[in-house]
Amino acid sequence: MADWWTTDATHDPALTSWVESAQGHADFPIQNLPIGLFSPSGLAPRIGVAIGDRILDLRACADAGLLPDDLAAACRGSVVNDLLGLPADRRRALRHGVSGLLSDPAHRSAAAFLHAAADCTLHVPARIGDYTDFYVGIHHANNVGRQFRPDNPLLPNYKYVPIGYHGRASSIRASGVPLRRPLGQRKPPEADAPVVGPTTRLDYELELGVWIGPGNALGTPIPIAQAADHVAGFCLLNDWSARDFQAWEYQPLGPFLAKNFQSTISPWIVTAEAMAPFRMAQPARPQGDPQPLPYLLDPGDQAHGALALTLEAWLLTARMREAGGTPVRLSRGPATSMYWTVQQIVAHHASNGCNLNPGDLLGTGTISAPTSDGFGSLMELSIGGKEPITLPNGETRAFVEDGDEIILRAHASAPGRVSIGLGECRAMVMPAP
Protein backbone atom coordinates (compact mmCIF):
# COMPACT_ATOMS: atom_id res chain seq x y z
CA MET A 1 0.00 0.00 0.00
CA ALA A 2 2.34 2.66 1.34
CA ASP A 3 0.15 5.55 0.26
CA TRP A 4 1.89 7.62 2.91
CA TRP A 5 4.48 8.12 0.18
CA THR A 6 2.00 10.61 -1.26
CA THR A 7 1.72 14.17 -0.03
CA ASP A 8 -1.44 16.04 0.89
CA ALA A 9 -2.64 19.36 2.29
CA THR A 10 -0.80 18.82 5.59
CA HIS A 11 2.47 19.12 3.63
CA ASP A 12 1.48 22.33 1.81
CA PRO A 13 4.45 24.71 2.08
CA ALA A 14 2.01 27.61 2.39
CA LEU A 15 0.42 26.15 5.51
CA THR A 16 1.10 28.15 8.67
CA SER A 17 0.20 27.76 12.33
CA TRP A 18 -1.30 30.20 14.81
CA VAL A 19 1.51 28.98 17.07
CA GLU A 20 3.94 31.74 16.11
CA SER A 21 7.16 29.86 16.84
CA ALA A 22 6.25 27.16 14.32
CA GLN A 23 6.92 29.47 11.39
CA GLY A 24 10.49 28.92 10.22
CA HIS A 25 11.21 26.49 13.03
CA ALA A 26 14.18 24.36 11.96
CA ASP A 27 12.68 21.12 13.27
CA PHE A 28 9.00 21.45 14.08
CA PRO A 29 7.03 23.62 11.62
CA ILE A 30 3.38 22.70 11.10
CA GLN A 31 4.41 20.35 8.28
CA ASN A 32 6.14 18.05 10.80
CA LEU A 33 3.91 17.34 13.86
CA PRO A 34 6.04 14.66 15.54
CA ILE A 35 4.64 12.54 18.36
CA GLY A 36 6.28 12.19 21.74
CA LEU A 37 5.84 11.53 25.43
CA PHE A 38 6.33 14.48 27.75
CA SER A 39 5.83 15.60 31.33
CA PRO A 40 4.81 19.16 32.00
CA SER A 41 6.63 20.26 35.16
CA GLY A 42 5.68 17.90 37.97
CA LEU A 43 2.97 16.01 36.04
CA ALA A 44 2.73 12.45 34.78
CA PRO A 45 3.92 11.59 31.25
CA ARG A 46 1.41 12.09 28.47
CA ILE A 47 1.40 12.00 24.67
CA GLY A 48 1.97 15.21 22.78
CA VAL A 49 2.84 16.77 19.44
CA ALA A 50 5.72 19.23 18.97
CA ILE A 51 4.82 22.49 17.24
CA GLY A 52 7.52 25.17 17.14
CA ASP A 53 8.74 25.63 20.72
CA ARG A 54 5.47 24.32 22.18
CA ILE A 55 3.98 20.90 22.83
CA LEU A 56 0.31 20.14 22.23
CA ASP A 57 -1.11 17.88 24.95
CA LEU A 58 -3.01 15.16 23.09
CA ARG A 59 -4.48 13.72 26.26
CA ALA A 60 -6.05 17.09 26.96
CA CYS A 61 -7.29 17.25 23.37
CA ALA A 62 -8.83 13.79 23.80
CA ASP A 63 -10.47 14.78 27.07
CA ALA A 64 -11.86 17.91 25.42
CA GLY A 65 -13.57 15.79 22.78
CA LEU A 66 -11.41 17.06 19.93
CA LEU A 67 -10.51 13.57 18.66
CA PRO A 68 -12.57 10.64 17.38
CA ASP A 69 -12.97 7.81 19.89
CA ASP A 70 -10.30 5.42 18.61
CA LEU A 71 -7.68 8.16 18.39
CA ALA A 72 -8.73 9.61 21.73
CA ALA A 73 -8.25 6.21 23.39
CA ALA A 74 -4.78 5.79 21.87
CA CYS A 75 -3.82 9.37 22.80
CA ARG A 76 -4.70 8.80 26.47
CA GLY A 77 -2.01 6.10 26.79
CA SER A 78 0.90 6.43 29.17
CA VAL A 79 3.16 5.41 26.26
CA VAL A 80 2.71 5.75 22.48
CA ASN A 81 2.56 2.01 21.70
CA ASP A 82 -1.19 1.91 21.05
CA LEU A 83 -0.91 4.97 18.84
CA LEU A 84 1.90 3.43 16.81
CA GLY A 85 -0.13 0.25 16.50
CA LEU A 86 -2.98 2.02 14.69
CA PRO A 87 -3.34 1.32 10.97
CA ALA A 88 -1.56 3.92 8.85
CA ASP A 89 -4.84 5.53 7.76
CA ARG A 90 -5.80 6.24 11.38
CA ARG A 91 -2.37 7.70 12.11
CA ARG A 92 -2.94 9.92 9.10
CA ALA A 93 -6.37 10.89 10.42
CA LEU A 94 -4.67 12.05 13.63
CA ARG A 95 -2.17 14.06 11.58
CA HIS A 96 -4.98 15.73 9.66
CA GLY A 97 -6.89 16.53 12.84
CA VAL A 98 -3.87 18.04 14.58
CA SER A 99 -2.82 19.92 11.45
CA GLY A 100 -6.27 21.47 11.19
CA LEU A 101 -6.34 22.34 14.89
CA LEU A 102 -2.97 24.08 14.81
CA SER A 103 -3.38 25.87 11.47
CA ASP A 104 -6.95 27.15 11.56
CA PRO A 105 -7.11 30.39 13.60
CA ALA A 106 -10.66 29.40 14.61
CA HIS A 107 -9.03 26.86 16.96
CA ARG A 108 -6.84 29.35 18.82
CA SER A 109 -8.59 28.31 22.00
CA ALA A 110 -6.55 25.08 21.82
CA ALA A 111 -3.67 27.26 23.05
CA ALA A 112 -4.92 26.13 26.47
CA PHE A 113 -3.53 22.68 25.62
CA LEU A 114 -0.04 23.95 24.78
CA HIS A 115 3.00 23.73 27.04
CA ALA A 116 6.34 25.49 26.58
CA ALA A 117 8.71 22.70 25.49
CA ALA A 118 11.47 24.24 27.58
CA ASP A 119 9.44 23.57 30.75
CA CYS A 120 8.77 19.91 29.92
CA THR A 121 10.70 16.67 30.33
CA LEU A 122 10.74 14.42 27.29
CA HIS A 123 10.77 10.64 27.72
CA VAL A 124 11.48 7.56 25.66
CA PRO A 125 8.07 7.61 23.98
CA ALA A 126 7.26 3.90 23.77
CA ARG A 127 7.69 0.82 25.89
CA ILE A 128 10.28 -0.68 23.57
CA GLY A 129 9.53 -4.39 23.43
CA ASP A 130 12.55 -5.22 21.31
CA TYR A 131 15.37 -3.16 19.88
CA THR A 132 17.31 -4.33 16.84
CA ASP A 133 20.33 -2.64 15.34
CA PHE A 134 21.31 -3.04 11.70
CA TYR A 135 24.50 -2.31 9.79
CA VAL A 136 23.26 -0.78 6.56
CA GLY A 137 25.74 2.10 6.33
CA ILE A 138 28.04 0.53 3.76
CA HIS A 139 30.82 3.11 4.09
CA HIS A 140 30.78 2.59 7.85
CA ALA A 141 30.88 -1.18 7.36
CA ASN A 142 33.88 -0.73 5.10
CA ASN A 143 35.67 1.69 7.41
CA VAL A 144 35.14 -0.39 10.55
CA GLY A 145 35.62 -3.70 8.80
CA ARG A 146 39.01 -2.49 7.65
CA GLN A 147 40.05 -1.86 11.26
CA PHE A 148 38.76 -5.17 12.69
CA ARG A 149 39.62 -7.30 9.63
CA PRO A 150 42.12 -5.44 7.41
CA ASP A 151 42.17 -8.23 4.84
CA ASN A 152 38.42 -8.70 4.78
CA PRO A 153 36.52 -5.46 5.49
CA LEU A 154 33.19 -6.31 3.86
CA LEU A 155 32.15 -9.91 4.45
CA PRO A 156 30.64 -11.97 1.59
CA ASN A 157 27.12 -11.83 3.09
CA TYR A 158 26.93 -8.01 3.27
CA LYS A 159 25.36 -7.38 -0.14
CA TYR A 160 22.79 -10.16 0.29
CA VAL A 161 21.81 -9.92 3.96
CA PRO A 162 20.76 -6.71 5.71
CA ILE A 163 23.02 -7.56 8.66
CA GLY A 164 21.41 -6.91 12.03
CA TYR A 165 21.58 -8.03 15.64
CA HIS A 166 19.47 -7.66 18.72
CA GLY A 167 20.31 -4.83 21.11
CA ARG A 168 19.32 -3.93 24.64
CA ALA A 169 15.97 -2.17 25.11
CA SER A 170 16.26 -1.45 28.84
CA SER A 171 19.18 0.95 28.57
CA ILE A 172 17.75 3.23 25.87
CA ARG A 173 17.37 6.74 27.22
CA ALA A 174 15.95 9.96 25.83
CA SER A 175 18.12 12.86 24.76
CA GLY A 176 19.50 14.78 27.71
CA VAL A 177 20.15 11.86 30.06
CA PRO A 178 23.90 11.70 30.79
CA LEU A 179 25.70 8.39 30.52
CA ARG A 180 28.43 6.91 32.70
CA ARG A 181 31.62 5.75 31.07
CA PRO A 182 31.32 1.97 31.43
CA LEU A 183 33.70 -0.49 33.07
CA GLY A 184 34.64 -3.64 31.24
CA GLN A 185 37.22 -6.06 29.93
CA ARG A 186 39.67 -5.05 27.27
CA LYS A 187 42.78 -6.81 26.10
CA PRO A 188 45.66 -4.54 25.20
CA PRO A 189 47.46 -6.00 22.17
CA GLU A 190 50.70 -6.45 24.07
CA ALA A 191 49.08 -8.08 27.16
CA ASP A 192 48.66 -11.80 27.76
CA ALA A 193 45.35 -11.38 29.55
CA PRO A 194 42.55 -8.82 29.62
CA VAL A 195 42.38 -5.98 32.14
CA VAL A 196 39.25 -4.48 33.72
CA GLY A 197 38.60 -0.77 33.86
CA PRO A 198 36.81 2.16 32.26
CA THR A 199 36.69 2.04 28.48
CA THR A 200 39.55 3.95 26.88
CA ARG A 201 37.89 4.02 23.46
CA LEU A 202 34.39 5.37 24.01
CA ASP A 203 32.69 6.28 20.76
CA TYR A 204 29.36 7.53 19.42
CA GLU A 205 27.52 6.19 16.38
CA LEU A 206 25.30 8.38 14.23
CA GLU A 207 22.22 6.34 13.35
CA LEU A 208 18.67 6.73 12.23
CA GLY A 209 16.07 5.04 14.45
CA VAL A 210 12.90 3.49 13.02
CA TRP A 211 9.73 3.07 15.09
CA ILE A 212 7.65 0.05 14.19
CA GLY A 213 3.91 0.46 13.64
CA PRO A 214 1.29 -2.33 13.51
CA GLY A 215 3.73 -5.21 12.97
CA ASN A 216 3.07 -8.86 12.21
CA ALA A 217 1.98 -12.06 13.91
CA LEU A 218 4.61 -14.66 14.79
CA GLY A 219 5.17 -16.96 11.81
CA THR A 220 3.83 -14.49 9.23
CA PRO A 221 6.49 -12.61 7.23
CA ILE A 222 5.91 -9.02 6.03
CA PRO A 223 6.12 -8.79 2.21
CA ILE A 224 8.46 -6.02 1.06
CA ALA A 225 5.59 -4.27 -0.75
CA GLN A 226 3.77 -3.92 2.58
CA ALA A 227 6.76 -3.13 4.75
CA ALA A 228 6.13 0.63 4.64
CA ASP A 229 2.79 0.11 6.38
CA HIS A 230 4.70 -1.05 9.44
CA VAL A 231 7.04 1.93 9.65
CA ALA A 232 5.45 4.42 12.02
CA GLY A 233 8.22 6.99 12.20
CA PHE A 234 11.82 7.99 12.72
CA CYS A 235 14.21 9.35 15.34
CA LEU A 236 17.94 9.78 15.84
CA LEU A 237 19.91 7.13 17.66
CA ASN A 238 23.35 7.35 19.23
CA ASP A 239 24.58 3.80 19.63
CA TRP A 240 27.32 4.55 22.18
CA SER A 241 30.10 2.00 21.81
CA ALA A 242 33.16 0.94 23.82
CA ARG A 243 35.50 -0.04 20.99
CA ASP A 244 38.06 -1.74 23.23
CA PHE A 245 35.42 -3.94 24.88
CA GLN A 246 33.92 -4.67 21.46
CA ALA A 247 37.17 -5.87 19.91
CA TRP A 248 37.74 -8.32 22.76
CA GLU A 249 34.21 -9.66 23.32
CA TYR A 250 32.53 -9.66 19.91
CA GLN A 251 33.55 -13.07 18.60
CA PRO A 252 31.74 -15.30 17.93
CA LEU A 253 28.30 -13.95 18.95
CA GLY A 254 28.55 -10.21 18.28
CA PRO A 255 28.69 -7.01 20.36
CA PHE A 256 27.24 -7.19 23.87
CA LEU A 257 28.59 -5.13 26.79
CA ALA A 258 30.35 -2.86 24.29
CA LYS A 259 26.99 -1.41 23.31
CA ASN A 260 24.34 -2.09 25.94
CA PHE A 261 25.41 0.33 28.69
CA GLN A 262 23.30 3.15 27.23
CA SER A 263 21.85 4.22 23.91
CA THR A 264 20.42 7.68 23.35
CA ILE A 265 17.46 8.57 21.13
CA SER A 266 15.87 11.82 20.11
CA PRO A 267 12.48 11.77 21.83
CA TRP A 268 10.23 12.90 18.97
CA ILE A 269 8.78 10.38 16.53
CA VAL A 270 8.77 12.07 13.14
CA THR A 271 6.00 10.11 11.46
CA ALA A 272 6.24 8.27 8.18
CA GLU A 273 3.47 10.62 6.97
CA ALA A 274 5.56 13.69 7.76
CA MET A 275 8.42 12.24 5.74
CA ALA A 276 6.29 11.75 2.61
CA PRO A 277 7.67 14.76 0.70
CA PHE A 278 11.22 13.63 1.41
CA ARG A 279 10.96 10.20 -0.14
CA MET A 280 13.32 9.55 -3.01
CA ALA A 281 14.66 6.77 -5.18
CA GLN A 282 17.08 4.34 -3.62
CA PRO A 283 20.43 5.04 -5.33
CA ALA A 284 21.41 2.41 -7.87
CA ARG A 285 23.73 -0.26 -6.56
CA PRO A 286 27.32 -0.02 -7.78
CA GLN A 287 28.10 -1.91 -10.96
CA GLY A 288 28.72 -5.57 -10.22
CA ASP A 289 26.74 -5.71 -6.97
CA PRO A 290 24.04 -8.39 -6.86
CA GLN A 291 20.37 -7.45 -7.16
CA PRO A 292 18.49 -7.72 -3.87
CA LEU A 293 16.91 -11.17 -3.49
CA PRO A 294 13.22 -11.23 -4.51
CA TYR A 295 11.88 -10.95 -0.95
CA LEU A 296 13.80 -7.68 -0.58
CA LEU A 297 13.02 -6.19 -3.98
CA ASP A 298 9.98 -4.03 -4.73
CA PRO A 299 9.68 -1.45 -7.52
CA GLY A 300 7.86 1.04 -5.29
CA ASP A 301 10.50 0.71 -2.63
CA GLN A 302 13.30 1.22 -5.15
CA ALA A 303 11.51 4.27 -6.58
CA HIS A 304 10.48 5.97 -3.31
CA GLY A 305 11.96 4.06 -0.39
CA ALA A 306 15.00 6.19 0.43
CA LEU A 307 15.05 9.37 2.53
CA ALA A 308 16.28 12.86 1.59
CA LEU A 309 17.66 13.34 5.07
CA THR A 310 20.97 14.92 6.10
CA LEU A 311 22.51 13.66 9.31
CA GLU A 312 24.98 15.54 11.47
CA ALA A 313 27.08 14.88 14.56
CA TRP A 314 28.27 17.73 16.79
CA LEU A 315 30.58 17.89 19.79
CA LEU A 316 30.61 20.21 22.80
CA THR A 317 33.62 19.58 25.04
CA ALA A 318 33.85 20.62 28.69
CA ARG A 319 36.46 23.24 27.74
CA MET A 320 34.25 24.64 25.02
CA ARG A 321 31.31 24.74 27.45
CA GLU A 322 33.33 26.54 30.12
CA ALA A 323 34.48 29.08 27.53
CA GLY A 324 30.83 29.75 26.64
CA GLY A 325 31.33 28.23 23.23
CA THR A 326 28.94 26.39 20.95
CA PRO A 327 29.24 22.85 19.58
CA VAL A 328 31.43 22.07 16.58
CA ARG A 329 30.27 19.86 13.78
CA LEU A 330 32.14 16.56 13.44
CA SER A 331 30.38 15.27 10.35
CA ARG A 332 27.52 15.72 7.92
CA GLY A 333 26.22 13.22 5.41
CA PRO A 334 23.17 11.91 3.57
CA ALA A 335 20.95 9.01 4.63
CA THR A 336 21.32 7.68 1.09
CA SER A 337 24.54 6.03 2.25
CA MET A 338 22.24 3.27 3.51
CA TYR A 339 22.83 0.19 1.35
CA TRP A 340 19.34 -1.10 2.30
CA THR A 341 16.13 0.89 2.65
CA VAL A 342 14.15 1.00 5.88
CA GLN A 343 11.50 -1.16 4.21
CA GLN A 344 14.11 -3.75 3.27
CA ILE A 345 15.31 -4.10 6.87
CA VAL A 346 11.71 -4.44 8.08
CA ALA A 347 10.92 -7.12 5.48
CA HIS A 348 14.17 -8.93 6.22
CA HIS A 349 13.57 -8.85 9.98
CA ALA A 350 10.14 -10.48 9.57
CA SER A 351 11.14 -12.80 6.70
CA ASN A 352 11.62 -15.78 9.02
CA GLY A 353 8.33 -15.09 10.79
CA CYS A 354 9.87 -13.06 13.63
CA ASN A 355 7.08 -10.87 14.99
CA LEU A 356 7.54 -7.10 15.13
CA ASN A 357 5.36 -5.15 17.55
CA PRO A 358 4.21 -1.52 17.83
CA GLY A 359 6.90 0.42 19.65
CA ASP A 360 9.77 -1.83 18.63
CA LEU A 361 12.81 0.21 17.65
CA LEU A 362 15.20 -0.52 14.80
CA GLY A 363 18.52 1.24 14.35
CA THR A 364 19.99 1.53 10.88
CA GLY A 365 23.58 1.21 12.06
CA THR A 366 26.04 4.04 11.65
CA ILE A 367 25.46 6.08 8.53
CA SER A 368 28.77 7.37 7.20
CA ALA A 369 29.28 9.26 3.97
CA PRO A 370 32.00 8.04 1.58
CA THR A 371 34.37 10.84 2.64
CA SER A 372 35.70 11.71 6.08
CA ASP A 373 33.60 14.88 6.45
CA GLY A 374 30.67 12.51 6.73
CA PHE A 375 32.06 9.71 8.89
CA GLY A 376 29.54 8.84 11.60
CA SER A 377 31.86 7.79 14.44
CA LEU A 378 35.14 8.88 15.98
CA MET A 379 36.61 5.46 15.26
CA GLU A 380 36.30 6.34 11.59
CA LEU A 381 37.25 10.02 11.93
CA SER A 382 40.41 9.22 13.92
CA ILE A 383 41.19 6.01 11.99
CA GLY A 384 40.87 3.77 15.00
CA GLY A 385 42.37 6.41 17.29
CA LYS A 386 45.64 6.56 15.35
CA GLU A 387 45.04 10.04 13.92
CA PRO A 388 43.17 12.15 16.49
CA ILE A 389 41.15 15.00 15.02
CA THR A 390 41.92 18.58 16.00
CA LEU A 391 39.05 20.83 17.09
CA PRO A 392 38.90 24.59 16.34
CA ASN A 393 39.94 25.40 19.95
CA GLY A 394 43.05 23.25 19.63
CA GLU A 395 41.78 20.25 21.59
CA THR A 396 42.19 16.86 19.98
CA ARG A 397 39.95 13.80 20.09
CA ALA A 398 40.70 10.18 19.28
CA PHE A 399 37.65 9.03 21.24
CA VAL A 400 34.98 10.62 23.44
CA GLU A 401 36.20 12.09 26.74
CA ASP A 402 34.45 12.71 30.04
CA GLY A 403 32.47 15.94 29.91
CA ASP A 404 32.01 15.71 26.17
CA GLU A 405 28.51 16.12 24.84
CA ILE A 406 27.61 14.48 21.53
CA ILE A 407 24.69 16.02 19.68
CA LEU A 408 23.06 14.36 16.67
CA ARG A 409 20.77 16.29 14.34
CA ALA A 410 18.99 15.55 11.07
CA HIS A 411 16.94 17.54 8.62
CA ALA A 412 14.86 16.50 5.66
CA SER A 413 14.63 18.80 2.69
CA ALA A 414 13.32 18.73 -0.86
CA PRO A 415 12.75 21.36 -3.55
CA GLY A 416 9.63 23.44 -2.88
CA ARG A 417 9.06 21.85 0.52
CA VAL A 418 9.30 23.18 4.04
CA SER A 419 12.27 21.45 5.66
CA ILE A 420 11.62 19.46 8.85
CA GLY A 421 13.95 18.10 11.52
CA LEU A 422 14.15 15.16 13.87
CA GLY A 423 15.06 17.27 16.91
CA GLU A 424 18.17 16.81 19.01
CA CYS A 425 19.73 13.60 20.28
CA ARG A 426 22.17 14.78 22.94
CA ALA A 427 23.99 13.26 25.89
CA MET A 428 26.99 14.06 28.05
CA VAL A 429 29.57 11.54 29.22
CA MET A 430 30.15 11.32 32.99
CA PRO A 431 33.23 9.74 34.55
CA ALA A 432 33.24 5.99 35.27
CA PRO A 433 31.78 4.94 38.64
- Distance from C-alpha of 30 to C-alpha of 25, rounded to nearest angstrom: 9
- Asked whether position 358 contacts a copy of itself by CB under 8 A, the answer is no
User: In this structure, are strands 389-390 and 361-363 parallel, antiparallel, or unpaired?
Assistant: unpaired
140 noted as active-site residue: yes
Candidates 147, 148, 176, 414: give the one binding a copy of itself (CB under 8 A): 148
The residues, ordered by sequence, that sit 6+ positions from 236 with a Cβ below 8 Å of its Cβ are 206, 207, 208, 209, 265, 266, 311, 408, 409, 410, 422, 423, 424, 425
Q: Considering only the stretches 10-18, 87-95, 115-123, 157-165, report the one whose residues sit in contact with a copy of itself under the rule CB under 8 A.
A: 157-165
427 sits in which H/E element: strand 425-430
- Distance from C-alpha of 411 to C-alpha of 265, rounded to nearest angstrom: 15
Residue 145 C-beta: closest distance to a copy of itself, Å: 7
> Mask of contacts with a copy of itself, 412-431, x by CB under 8 A?
--------------------
Q: Binders of a copy of itself among 239-258, rule CB under 8 A?
A: 242, 245, 248-257
Q: Considering only the stretches 48-56, 115-123, 277-285, 349-357, report the one whose residues sit in contact with a copy of itself under the rule CB under 8 A.
A: 349-357
Q: Is 422 helix (H, G, I), strand (E, B) or coil?
A: coil
Cis before 189? omega within 30: no
- Distance from C-alpha of 209 to C-alpha of 198, rounded to nearest angstrom: 27
For 240, counting Cβ atoms within 10 Å of its Cβ (0-12 exposed, 13-18 middle, 19+ buried), the class is buried
In the complex with a copy of itself, the residue whose CB is nearer, 410 or 429, is 429
Q: Considering only the stretches 106-114, 293-301, 376-384, 404-412, report the one whose residues sit in contact with a copy of itself under the rule CB under 8 A.
A: 293-301
DSSP 104: -
Q: Considering only the stretches 128-136, 200-208, 302-310, 392-400, report the one whose residues sit in contact with a copy of itself under the rule CB under 8 A.
A: 128-136
Helices (H), 149-297: 243-249
In the complex with a copy of itself, the residue whose CB is nearer, 65 or 189, is 189
In the complex with a copy of itself, the residue whose CB is nearer, 169 or 306, is 169
- Distance from C-alpha of 409 to C-alpha of 426, rounded to nearest angstrom: 9
DSSP 146: H
In the complex with a copy of itself, the residue whose CB is nearer, 218 or 323, is 218
Radius of gyration of the chain (CA): 21
Candidates 44, 191, 218, 323: give the one binding a copy of itself (CB under 8 A): 218
Which position among 25, 123, 140, 348 bears the catalytic label? 140
Candidates 8, 121, 146, 295: give the one binding a copy of itself (CB under 8 A): 295
Q: Which residues bind a copy of itself (CB under 8 A)?
A: 129-130, 135, 145, 148-149, 155-157, 160-161, 163-171, 173, 179-180, 182-185, 187, 193-194, 196, 218-221, 242, 245, 248-257, 260-262, 290, 293-295, 348-349, 351-357, 360, 433
Q: Would you please indicate which residues are annotated as catalytic (active-site) residues?
A: 140
